Amino acid sequence: MSRKLLILLGLAILCSGGLLLLYSSSLGTQLALGAGAGGGWLLPLVAVSALLDSINPCAFSVLLITIAFLFSLGKPRKEVLLLGGSYIAGLYLTYFLIGLGMLKALSLLGVPHFMGRLGAAAVIIFGILNLLGYFFPSVNWLPGIPKEIHQKIAKLLERVSLPGVFLVGVLVALCEFPCTGGPYLMILGLLHDSATYLSGFGYLLFYNLLFVSPLILILLVASHKELLEKVDAWRKTETKKAKLGVGVAMLVLGIIILFFI
DSSP string for residues in 7-25: HHHHHHHHHHHHHHHHHHS
Q: Using 50, 70 and 90 to split pLDDT, how confident is the model at 34?
A: very low
Planar angle of CA 80, 178, 137, nearest 5 degrees: 80
Minimum mean pLDDT range among 2-6, 31-35, 67-71, 96-100 = 31-35
Q: Residue 134 in contact with residue 55, Cβ under 8 Å?
A: no
CB atoms within 10 A of CB 14: 12
Q: What is the mean pLDDT of residues 57-77?
A: 86
* Residue 227: closest CA among 217, 214, 241, 240: 217
Query: Between the ranges 33-47, 106-120, 126-140, 150-164, where is the mean pLDDT highest?
Result: 150-164
Q: What is the mean pLDDT of residues 107-112?
A: 66
CB atoms within 10 A of CB 41: 18
Is the pTM here over 0.85, yes or no?
no
Sign of CA dihedral 200, 206, 210, 216: positive
Q: Residue 238 in contact with residue 248, Cβ under 8 Å?
A: no
Rounded-to-integer distance, Cα 64 and Cα 62, Å: 6
Rounded-to-integer distance, Cα 169 and Cα 164, Å: 9
pLDDT of residue 127: 84
Q: Using 50, 70 and 90 to split pLDDT, how confident is the model at 207?
A: very high
Q: Using 50, 70 and 90 to split pLDDT, how confident is the model at 237?
A: confident
- For the chain, give the percent of residues with pLDDT over 90: 19
* Residue 121: closest CA among 260, 261, 251, 222: 251
Q: Nearest 5°: phi and psi at 54?
A: -75, -20
Beta-carbon contacts of 78 under 8 Å, excluding residues fewer than 6 positions away, are none
Instruction: Name the more confident of 176 and 38.
Output: 176
* Residue 253: closest CA among 40, 39, 46, 4: 46
Which segments of 36-113 does DSSP mark as H helices, in order?
42-54, 57-72, 77-109
